[in-house]
Structure 1
Amino acid sequence: MIISSVKKYKKYFTVSPKKVVELLGYNLDFSADHSLSEQDLWLMNKSKMEKARHILKNRWGYPAFREGQEEAVNAVLERKNTLVLFPTGGGKSLCYQLPAIMLDGMTVVISPLVALMQDQVQQLRERGIAATFINSTLSTWEIEQRLANARNGMYKLLYCAPERLQSPLWQAELPKLDLSFIAVDEAHCISEWGHDFRPSYREIRPAFESVDGSVSWIALTATATPEVRADIQDNLGFEDPVIVSKGFERPNLKWWVTATPKKDKKLLEAVSQAGERGSGLVYGGTRRNCERLAREISNRLELKAEAYHAGIEAEERQRIQQQWVDGELPLVVATSAFGMGIDKADCRYVIHYVMPYTLEAYYQQAGRAGRDGVESFPLLLFKSSDLITAEQRIKDSYPEKKQLQHLYDALCDSLDLAVGAEMEKMQQVSLDALATRSGFSKRISRSALNVLSHLSIIQLVERINPQIGIHFVASRDYIRTVITEAKNQRKAIFLDTLLRQFGGEAFGEMKFIDFDYLQQKLNVSPNAVKKGLQILQDHEQLLQFEVTGALPLVKIVDGRRSSLGLSKAELERHRNTLLKKLDYMRGYIQTEHCREVYIRQYFGEEAVKPCGHCDNCLKGQTSDYHFGNSDLLSIRQALEKGGKTVAQLCRQFGWRRERVKKSLSHLIREEKVVERSEKYFWRDHQM
């Protein structure tokens, strides 16, 4: 039964009618007259968690919380500081997004990756939740506008890059914001023991000192050792937090390491076996490897595979990513950047052709397999020289003191920055140009930038998405006249959209926004965007435009110094941490015991029992091992689908006849397989 308006039934509630609508998960304009059912009225008198479950279903479409989520949400709603330790794909973001729309005021989310915060904001908006972000890709004018909107209560969630918290503009606006809750995503970045340490993360708590007593906190990570957990709690001032951990057990993942000097051959064998299971992901390490391996897999196995790396145009990367998520592309061979924030539950296998340097990175990347709980296979291909190469690259990644000073000076010169001068905003830097100016290789130049960032001498932001910049050279009145009098309606819409998106600031200087975002607003193809801008620039002379690639953004902290004044200990501290982490990776590869036990103990779990299904656990049960399981398991899975001849099994797996016969003989002796009319059947699936 529908009963008249919310306002009429205000007496039923202890909160305002507007809050009723928000809590129920509706996306309504409250100036209109809206109705609630008796069920809605009944719900308003229920507990916070009953309301949370209702919102979970209404907004997210989920019938129930996943393991650990309800405990975390409840802790946040009770205004308790909370530390969430969920594995990759465990649903961390819901633990702060859902409470954010239930709590009064606004939630600030600290996120380290530009692309991830933009994706999450887009997803929230699609669910009718008011959210935005501020980071270094936005102009000062746009940031000021979004902060003004936040001050006026227009957002429930505001995503912010950690570097932004130190800006004078943020510090000036912070006391004016109605904050109730702060979420620190990827919280392992706080710790120098974390595999992705960012100095700016250690300044998060001090940045909120002015509102410290009125807000609660949540910190979330998928990869935290005991040292990292302690560092997170200490740095954020969590004295007695609620700790919600799902543990690091992934019972559906069959951890496997194959030591081989012939990685290409083993990779082809692994993909050949795995191709029938579903979609897969190969981490190739370098751009060159990704291109070469994708071609080889496509040509040799007749399995469609494509390379993915930063050298590919953004539009093409988006196509590859979406086709893989949709199941149209069975295999992607990628650098480590692929997979961040991608929600694909049914990836059946992840193969590392190149060894990651930390167990955290390996666990996070390999954990993208089997997020739906179905049996899946992470495989690490390894040869002895990998560890030697990794150790040398870590050492080489830390330039000497003189090299660091020289690169710093070259960077400041490229930015036209005198000693003592400060930068107002981040600027784009070409690594090629910096290498040329410094006389160093691109590798040394990149390493030096990373070290300077770790030491908080510069702010460094990796720009994921290409940008497009526009500077209107004609007056606003003239452009509006062109729009009004245009005979071509498409041209009028195109130009009007540009004017709305870039605003008044673009009349004074070149203003940049994401290319993909502008393309969506214009509702035309990427080529049509560039062609239209070219016409408006060359023929109409209304504007000037630039298209930038995925170049990093840099800002010198506290003005240019004449001397960095760094000690040897400062330079080597983080390097030594990475070398120690490499030792743990070596231990994982070389252990003769259960690999899952090794991983879980590394992350601090105790009394862990062997999994029974990794390669080490299976050594005593089978005689020949391959990707994701033994040859025996591969044959079993093939025969469970129906009888096969030896020739058919050879063609299916690309094996020699002797290898197939050996496995079949073993299975026949074990009374698992029977032979009939030259075909072999699994006993439980006989025809």
Structure 2
Amino acid sequence: MNHKTLTEAREALKKYWGYSTFREGQEEVIHAVLEQRDTMVLFPTGGGKSLCYQLPSVVTEGLTVVISPLVALMQDQVQQLNNRNIAATFINSSISSWEVEQRLVNARNGMYDLLYCAPERLQTTLWQAELPKLDINLIAIDEAHCISEWGHDFRPSYREIRPALESIAASVSWMALTATATPEVRTDIQNNLELSEPVVVSKGFDRPNLKWWVLSSEQKDQKMLTAVRRASNTGVGLIYAGTRRNCEELSSKIQKQLGIETESYHAGKEPGDREQIQQRWVEGNLPLVVATNAFGMGIDKADCRYVIHYEMPYSLEAYYQQAGRAGRDGEESFPLLLFKPSDLRIAEKRIKDSYPEREQLQRVYDALCDSLDLAVGSEMETAEELSIDLLSKRAGFSKRITRSALNVLNHLGIIELIEYITPRIGVHFIANRDYIRELISKSENERKRLFLDTLLRQFGGEAFAEMKYLDFDYVREKLNVSPNAVKKGLQVLQDHDQILQFHSRGDLPLVKLLEERQSVLRLSKKELEQHRNTLLKKLEYMQGYIETEGCREVYIRQYFGESQVRPCGHCDNCLSEKKGEVQFMDSDLLSIKQALSKGGKTIPHLCRQFGWSRSRVKKSLSYLIREEKVKVNEEKYIWANSTEN
């Protein structure tokens, strides 16, 4: 990279992001990108991955294509970039085919620096037709662990990224980014994307400001309340509660018993409410959110002081990513996992139950296609809204089985299921333009006249041909009325004046078949069971993290492939050991030595002799064994210099 380019990169960092210097690892990545080298970026959550492709996009010619699996994250990042006056947009199944086409035309004409794209989009006829006309400079694959079947969120569509872009593969730079990749996953990413001698930049998986803690108790509610009471003095927090019901109940309990303002966040909430809760939390106006695991994706908040997991995640990758949302500013923060033994049995059962029988998958698939009026061989152009309740009734299954089947079909790349989208409003004018203009000019109601005129200007000519969708907040801002007034006004124009039809999106998930409808799903039993077995293996590692008596940070870092890792000194196990050593050095050394010098003793014997807890005896003995002062013969502990064998 020449000096001028480095200067431009630093100027762009200051101009668009307001930073004077790069964070650790970022400059090395950007250096490699500007030299058109392939790169693999392994930064922890909050480590500044997105800047690694966003900044090069504004200092180089051409388009950066960012491939992301998360609709909510795409929308969030595009909004942040636009707020910084960086030209960016996204294409996915939450927008109409007309809008997708228009955005691709704009991209072809050089109107964007970044184009965010769902991996499934690369397979479409429209994308393949436009691809040769796009001046693409960099392909950035976010959440790259989705490529690997060993990743915690494997998506088959990710393995088709390289083949779909083969025609331009040699003329662009490639970047793969992830916060959670074991050595096997890294190898899989590199091989699948065919990265050419990539520059690998890893910040490691240590988070020295995080105090990892696991609390095992049957009284999880009480322990949670105690933890929140203590942690609330440090700043805002986040609780991952697992289910909607837990979110509601825990949120209510915290407010009633602790008086701390708390909101629940889950898919059952109105989209506008979810967005408002998220915004208040990000701005520091809401101390605590109790959420399902969808909360936090793509959210840029540096000063979350504590993250409590009321329900255990099923993989160490998911836990590390979610817990890592605490302390992104480098200040001391607290990730706490609440646990009881039955959690593991429940988790194992849920994983096994989450893979329905092949016949159940077929039935839900058929019911879905029938509800979408799709004949065998038919394709879908855009995603449609989906009611899980209605689909469950149609398939004749419980909502749990139906939901599980949809998740598996989504995971296997048969459908695309979009759960969290920015609320959008669609308008289709059914009266002709001249009639509407006449209605505007003759209206004696000033507010109605202004409302309709603004609507016409914002939705434009396309809305006369089909339902056109725009972001709800954008429309509300242009109309300069409350959210409720937007819908009321549209209702009047639809029901009374009968000049348009409108539709809200965001209340229900969206679904799209990624291929034409099949009469019989082409799925083998091996294919269905393989990922389930991987998830069960990952659950074993999660159990290992919970049950380890060693340093928790060491366990995490070794899981992600780091070696020669020293204990952190500040997780619960390290602090407990230190405390044990102090007690031992102060008073316990002589007692243990005198007792064991007279002959071997079992742990129960020592507990009775000293009146100590089993935990205190075990920790003292563990320390002595490491110091080679005590040895073990069957269940008896013996002082190393004693004569007993």
TM-score w.r.t. length of structure 2: 0.87
Any conservation in 2 of the 1:465–1:549 contact (CA below 8 Å)? yes
2:274: which partner in 1? 317
What are the residue-to-residue correspondences of 1:22-171 with 2, within 5 Å?
A: 46-171=3-128
2:136: which partner in 1? 179
- Name the SS of the counterpart of 1:347 in structure 2: coil
2:261: which partner in 1? 304
2:347: which partner in 1? 390
Aligned with residue 358 of structure 2, among 401, 404, 414? 401
Q: Give the distance between the partners of 1:547 and 1:407, measured in 2 at CA.
A: 26
Residues 300-337 of structure 1 show CA distances to partners (whole Å, capped at 9, x for unaligned) of 11222121111112222222222222222211111111
User: Identity of aligned pairs, percent?
Assistant: 71
1:584: which partner in 2? 541
Amino acid in the other structure paired with 1:574: H
Distance 1:520 1:226, change over 3 A: farther
Q: Give the distance between the partners of 1:313 and 1:323, measured in 2 at CA.
A: 16
- Name the SS of the counterpart of 1:620 in structure 2: helix
2:520: which partner in 1? 563
User: Would you say 1:373 and 2:311 are equivalent positions?
Assistant: no
Q: Give the distance between the partners of 1:334 and 1:371, measured in 2 at CA.
A: 19
1:642: which partner in 2? none
1:521: which partner in 2? 478
Distance 1:466 1:322, change over 3 A: closer
Q: CA deviation at 1:489?
A: 4.3
User: Would you say 1:475 and 2:432 are equivalent positions?
Assistant: yes
Q: Give the distance between the partners of 1:487 and 1:112, measured in 2 at CA.
A: 49
Q: Give the distance between the partners of 1:349 and 1:623, measured in 2 at CA.
A: 26
Distance 1:549 1:53, change over 3 A: closer
Residues 503-546 of structure 1 show CA distances to partners (whole Å, capped at 9, x for unaligned) of 33322333333323322332321111111111211222211122
Q: CA deviation at 1:63?
A: 0.9
Q: Give the distance between the partners of 2:458 and 2:392, measured in 1 at CA.
A: 35
Any conservation in 1 of the 2:551–2:571 contact (CA below 8 Å)? yes
2:153: which partner in 1? 196
1:572: which partner in 2? 529
Q: Give the distance between the partners of 1:358 and 1:401, measured in 2 at CA.
A: 25
Residues 588-631 of structure 1 show CA distances to partners (whole Å, capped at 9, x for unaligned) of 0011100000001111111100001111111123379xxxxxxx
What are the residue-to-residue correspondences of 1:406-485 with 2, within 5 Å?
A: 406-485=363-442
Distance 1:171 1:306, change over 3 A: same
Q: Give the distance between the partners of 2:538 and 2:577, measured in 1 at CA.
A: 30
Q: Give the distance between the partners of 2:114 and 2:444, measured in 1 at CA.
A: 42
Q: Give the distance between the partners of 1:152 and 1:324, measured in 2 at CA.
A: 38
1:672: which partner in 2? none
2:317: which partner in 1? 360
Q: CA deviation at 1:207?
A: 1.2
1:33: which partner in 2? none
Q: Give the distance between the partners of 1:330 and 1:92, measured in 2 at CA.
A: 27
Q: Give the distance between the partners of 2:81 and 2:505, measured in 1 at CA.
A: 28
Any conservation in 1 of the 2:93–2:512 contact (CA below 8 Å)? no
Any conservation in 2 of the 1:199–1:453 contact (CA below 8 Å)? no
Any conservation in 1 of the 2:454–2:478 contact (CA below 8 Å)? yes
User: Would you say 1:502 and 2:459 are equivalent positions?
Assistant: yes
- Name the SS of the counterpart of 1:200 in structure 2: helix
User: Would you say 1:236 and 2:193 are equivalent positions?
Assistant: yes
Amino acid in the other structure paired with 1:423: M
Q: Give the distance between the partners of 2:12 and 2:441, measured in 1 at CA.
A: 45
Distance 1:45 1:288, change over 3 A: closer
What are the residue-to-residue correspondences of 1:544-563 with 2, within 5 Å?
A: 544-563=501-520
Residues 28-60 of structure 1 show CA distances to partners (whole Å, capped at 9, x for unaligned) of xxxxxxxxxxxxxxxx99432122111111221
Q: Give the distance between the partners of 2:351 and 2:63, measured in 1 at CA.
A: 41
Distance 1:68 1:189, change over 3 A: same
Q: Give the distance between the partners of 1:490 and 1:167, measured in 2 at CA.
A: 43
Any conservation in 2 of the 1:137–1:513 contact (CA below 8 Å)? no
2:206: which partner in 1? 249
Q: Give the distance between the partners of 2:444 and 2:2, measured in 1 at CA.
A: 59
1:295: which partner in 2? 252
2:299: which partner in 1? 342
Q: Give the distance between the partners of 2:522 and 2:49, measured in 1 at CA.
A: 41
Distance 1:314 1:187, change over 3 A: same
User: Would you say 1:332 and 2:258 are equivalent positions?
Assistant: no
Any conservation in 2 of the 1:462–1:550 contact (CA below 8 Å)? no
Any conservation in 1 of the 2:94–2:421 contact (CA below 8 Å)? no
Q: Give the distance between the partners of 1:455 and 1:552, measured in 2 at CA.
A: 18
Distance 1:351 1:316, change over 3 A: same
- Name the SS of the counterpart of 1:432 in structure 2: helix
Any conservation in 2 of the 1:463–1:550 contact (CA below 8 Å)? no
Aligned with residue 242 of structure 2, among 270, 282, 285? 285
Does 205-214 or 254-263 show the bigger shift? Answer: 205-214
Aligned with residue 178 of structure 2, among 216, 221, 224? 221
- Name the SS of the counterpart of 1:581 in structure 2: helix
Residues 268-299 of structure 1 show CA distances to partners (whole Å, capped at 9, x for unaligned) of 11111112111111111111111111111111
Q: Give the distance between the partners of 1:493 and 1:182, measured in 2 at CA.
A: 44
Q: CA deviation at 1:453?
A: 2.0
Distance 1:521 1:184, change over 3 A: farther
Does 406-415 or 540-549 show the bigger shift? Answer: 540-549
- Kindly tell me the number of residue pairs found equivalent between the two proteins: 581
Amino acid in the other structure paired with 1:581: K
Q: CA deviation at 1:200?
A: 1.2
Any conservation in 1 of the 2:66–2:115 contact (CA below 8 Å)? yes
Residues 149-205 of structure 1 show CA distances to partners (whole Å, capped at 9, x for unaligned) of 111111111111111111100100000111111111111111111111121111111
Q: CA deviation at 1:463?
A: 4.1
Does 442-451 or 251-260 show the bigger shift? Answer: 442-451
Amino acid in the other structure paired with 1:498: L
Q: Give the distance between the partners of 1:550 and 1:207, measured in 2 at CA.
A: 32
- Name the SS of the counterpart of 2:456 in structure 1: helix
Amino acid in the other structure paired with 2:523: L
Q: Give the distance between the partners of 2:443 and 2:68, measured in 1 at CA.
A: 44
Does 304-313 or 396-405 show the bigger shift? Answer: 304-313
2:643: which partner in 1? none
- Name the SS of the counterpart of 1:618 in structure 2: helix
Q: Give the distance between the partners of 1:403 and 1:134, measured in 2 at CA.
A: 32
Any conservation in 1 of the 2:251–2:290 contact (CA below 8 Å)? yes
Q: CA RMSD in A?
A: 1.8
TM-score w.r.t. length of structure 1: 0.82
Amino acid in the other structure paired with 1:591: T
Q: Give the distance between the partners of 1:565 and 1:167, measured in 2 at CA.
A: 21
Q: CA deviation at 1:206?
A: 1.1
Amino acid in the other structure paired with 1:322: Q
Q: CA deviation at 1:481?
A: 2.5
- Name the SS of the counterpart of 1:622 in structure 2: helix
2:496: which partner in 1? 539
Q: CA deviation at 1:500?
A: 3.3
Any conservation in 1 of the 2:75–2:422 contact (CA below 8 Å)? no
Q: Give the distance between the partners of 2:266 and 2:440, measured in 1 at CA.
A: 40
| Structure 1 moving runs of 4+ over 6 Å | none
2:162: which partner in 1? 205
- Name the SS of the counterpart of 2:576 in structure 1: coil
Structure 1 unpaired stretches of 5+: 1-43, 625-687
